[in-house]
Structure 1
């Protein structure tokens, strides 16, 4: 087994133990095995990788406040988009009063709940490849504008079809938050910061949106119709456009070769650092370093441009997506995510009917408070999926001579899988046998914990195990999962009618167990398979974490 090793620029040349072009003696043979990074030095210090440049355009060189402002804009738009997309699920009663079966033909009102997820999947297939061509900032701004216009159109919709078109465009815009926004978070963070940053994104968004969902019925009842909900959110939608425009500069940055202490440092697309003695030894010839320049707010506000890869990078991404789809170590994550999403749909589509029926007869205002349980579940997932996996992966890396393998993130899947099985089984039994209503709330909270912590684990695994394919892998994860959920949403009610609510949900729990506990060991022991996949098909770096 061979692992790659990188050195911190804070070390002296004598402290470098990486292979160079003029020396073949090293602690580890220098091979470009993506997903294996020498992250912890011999004295236990975490190395800050990738190595920032001196350029003010390098997001890793931004001040803490500048990065924090970018995170605030991302979080705000993610929260707002999730609330808008899931809003119709809590307004089903007023929507059904206005739109009869005749008004919705040949569709049904349930399409307002499922169509946005389909377009979220489409969004992943569109926004990530497009960001490789024109950059992250223009794509993000475009999505905020689409969300604003769709919200205005939804608030003034005069027919079911107008509302349907609106929520579809909202889903398309929301797709950026579950796909390309994750690449922005990766752009803004060092390797050792990513578990916490990604966990914070999923958990905070889940917590705040869950709290807001609890009050959606009050928003609707405060006005004359369901349109009030959309009209209220026009102002936050407009604010998100301004926040992204002013607070999120372009984060897509290619790090050039740099000279340090008589050595040439070249960072590869997999975030590996190669050390050379002379510029002439650098592959492709001498590369001019990035020329430092003063930070300019005018440059930060530029909203259109192209990346070095250009439109060719976008079109190259689609064959990579196909390659990721047939990659077993990526496809199983998308499959697990789809099954867990199916458990969310099973609870989400039925809990209101269960709580409003006998023996509970709970008012819709209190039924919506189940989202507070979901918010708590999302918040609890933060320390578990962020802090814990960061600690576990660090310990495993230290026991592995400082080399952090992508497989060190696999323990992050254990708790989500156990919680997912527990939540869906408890829900099915509680709904079938009329247990105390608190079991419904507990199962909902556990299910939210499952989704949030699993989203963090999924993102870390596919981006760190296959950094060359980070962008197309996120397309497969987000696109396939959300598009599959569209089909699953139509099967929940027939499934429950056929097997009973307990039987259907227990079967979903068994599916989560099979997909999770069978395939995680395969992935853990499949490091050589991962390396073989990289050696044979991983030559293109257009969709990499650090595109070259």
Structure 2
């Protein structure tokens, strides 16, 4: 991304615009799964909504605040300096990665050579390295639990954990190595994300994120066309500042879906006898679902009729509130249910959400010319809210669907070496 930024700062042809944007998207998409995996690893269930909210705030900061800053900078120094700035920031980030980003591939010693289970029986694996369930340990028995050592292998000669030499910390260069060899088949890692399409909760999240992102792209694409022309006639800086409304709305929506969402599920779990159901997060979504469509409609009508700039800003803020809340809650549900396959799930989600986002910029000009801003945004708002309201049937049928699809999920887990869904 750093290299493409410097290339973009010197580009002179339309072909270079397409090539650089393609490479930007290819490289930048890697962060989608890394961020969600980090949230799944570091935070408890009642904290994940808030953590996801903070992540979404960071994402929309790039979507709305950075174009605002870029507009002011382009007006003062020229558009090439926006790419110079991005190039400088990404070059510094690249150097930080080279010097401090340690190898994250974790290979547990106990799973390095799965030749015997906790009872001393051989474990059979297939060509892909998946464990044969008929020879794997019982689902309720952990390979190295106290229960196994106390009851199942009592009297056998087992090495004392205290007598084993401690595992020392790896050196700086070992922690920065580029490659970690494992016995995992690479082909399986490419196929598994598409297997996640069989789970409705993952598809629900993919559709919600695609819905929000598609209309974010529509709003940002029309923003410069509308507010640089009459009756507004804003300069580059003014056009960029019009994106502050959606940014403020996104912050409020992230707090609503994150902080409030975490608070609500704790209370609902207590009322449910201490049992947490992931679908409990969906109870707060009908309000932001309506807000997302209503904000789009207000933004389009106000901008088309030339109302004072505060009205489209308020419309953008209402839309941003709904979009952030929908994305926060739907993404958190996937982590709650499929924590061990978070990366694979979000690879599929990223793939699906990018499909409409790619097509919107190519059609926006012709849509405005043929339908006008008012009709485009009112129809878009109705479609957006209709998609968001899919949260209602998922709230009702979600638990039954989740339980019915648990068998295929455990099958995928076993292929990845997780026994008994652990």
TM over 0.5: yes
- Structure 1: unaligned runs, 5 residues or longer: 1-146, 258-263, 265-271
Against the structure 1 CA distance between its residues 416 and 519, is the aligned structure 2 distance closer, same or farther, given a 3 Å change threshold? closer
Determine if the alignment matches structure 1 residue 185 to structure 2 residue 39. yes
| Cα distance in 2 between the residues matched to 1:232 and 1:222 | 13
Determine if the alignment matches structure 1 residue 304 to structure 2 residue 178. yes
| Cα distance in 1 between the residues matched to 2:292 and 2:346 | 22
Aligned to 1:227: 80
Aligned to 2:124: none
What is the CA distance between 1:460 and its match in structure 2?
0.7
What is the CA distance between 1:294 and its match in structure 2?
4.8
What is the CA distance between 1:388 and its match in structure 2?
0.9
Deviations 1:463-505 (A, max 9, x none): 2223344222211211111122112332333333333322221
What is the CA distance between 1:156 and its match in structure 2?
2.7
| Cα distance in 2 between the residues matched to 1:300 and 1:421 | 51
Aligned to 1:277: 147
SS at match of 1:212: helix
| Cα distance in 1 between the residues matched to 2:401 and 2:308 | 48
Against the structure 1 CA distance between its residues 181 and 245, is the aligned structure 2 distance closer, same or farther, given a 3 Å change threshold? farther
| Cα distance in 2 between the residues matched to 1:288 and 1:461 | 41
Determine if the alignment matches structure 1 residue 428 to structure 2 residue 281. no
Aligned to 1:136: none
What is the CA distance between 1:327 and its match in structure 2?
3.1
Asked whether the 8 Å contact 1:397–1:403 carries over to 2, the reply is yes
| Cα distance in 2 between the residues matched to 1:193 and 1:473 | 20
Aligned to 1:485: 357
Aligned to 2:58: 204
Aligned to 1:353: 225
SS at match of 2:233: coil
Aligned to 2:283: 411
The number of equivalent residue pairs is: 384
What is the CA distance between 1:300 and its match in structure 2?
7.1
- Structure 2: unaligned runs, 5 residues or longer: 111-117, 119-139
Against the structure 1 CA distance between its residues 358 and 222, is the aligned structure 2 distance closer, same or farther, given a 3 Å change threshold? closer
| Cα distance in 2 between the residues matched to 1:231 and 1:516 | 39
What is the CA distance between 1:391 and its match in structure 2?
0.6
| Cα distance in 1 between the residues matched to 2:357 and 2:332 | 22
Determine if the alignment matches structure 1 residue 239 to structure 2 residue 92. yes
Asked whether the 8 Å contact 2:67–2:240 carries over to 1, the reply is yes
SS at match of 2:369: helix
Against the structure 1 CA distance between its residues 342 and 382, is the aligned structure 2 distance closer, same or farther, given a 3 Å change threshold? closer
Aligned residue among 399, 407, 422 for 1:535? 407
Aligned to 2:372: 500
What is the CA distance between 1:309 and its match in structure 2?
5.9
| Cα distance in 2 between the residues matched to 1:298 and 1:197 | 30
What is the CA distance between 1:151 and its match in structure 2?
1.2
Asked whether the 8 Å contact 1:202–1:452 carries over to 2, the reply is yes
SS at match of 2:411: coil
Q: Please, which moves more after superposition, 385-394 or 518-527?
A: 518-527
TM-score scaled to structure 2, two decimals? 0.79
| Cα distance in 1 between the residues matched to 2:330 and 2:34 | 15
| Cα distance in 2 between the residues matched to 1:385 and 1:278 | 42
What is the CA distance between 1:455 and its match in structure 2?
2.5
| Cα distance in 2 between the residues matched to 1:423 and 1:185 | 29
What is the CA distance between 1:308 and its match in structure 2?
5.0
SS at match of 2:177: coil
| Cα distance in 2 between the residues matched to 1:273 and 1:417 | 44
| Cα distance in 1 between the residues matched to 2:250 and 2:218 | 18
Aligned to 1:324: 196
What is the CA distance between 1:367 and its match in structure 2?
1.6
| Cα distance in 2 between the residues matched to 1:195 and 1:419 | 20
Aligned to 1:400: 272
Greater per-residue helix proportion: 2
Against the structure 1 CA distance between its residues 204 and 346, is the aligned structure 2 distance closer, same or farther, given a 3 Å change threshold? closer
TM-score scaled to structure 1, two decimals? 0.62
Aligned to 1:460: 332
What is the CA distance between 1:235 and its match in structure 2?
1.9
| Cα distance in 1 between the residues matched to 2:38 and 2:418 | 10
What is the CA distance between 1:256 and its match in structure 2?
7.7
Once superposed, what is the RMSD of the aligned Cα atoms? 3.4
Against the structure 1 CA distance between its residues 148 and 364, is the aligned structure 2 distance closer, same or farther, given a 3 Å change threshold? closer
Against the structure 1 CA distance between its residues 442 and 200, is the aligned structure 2 distance closer, same or farther, given a 3 Å change threshold? same
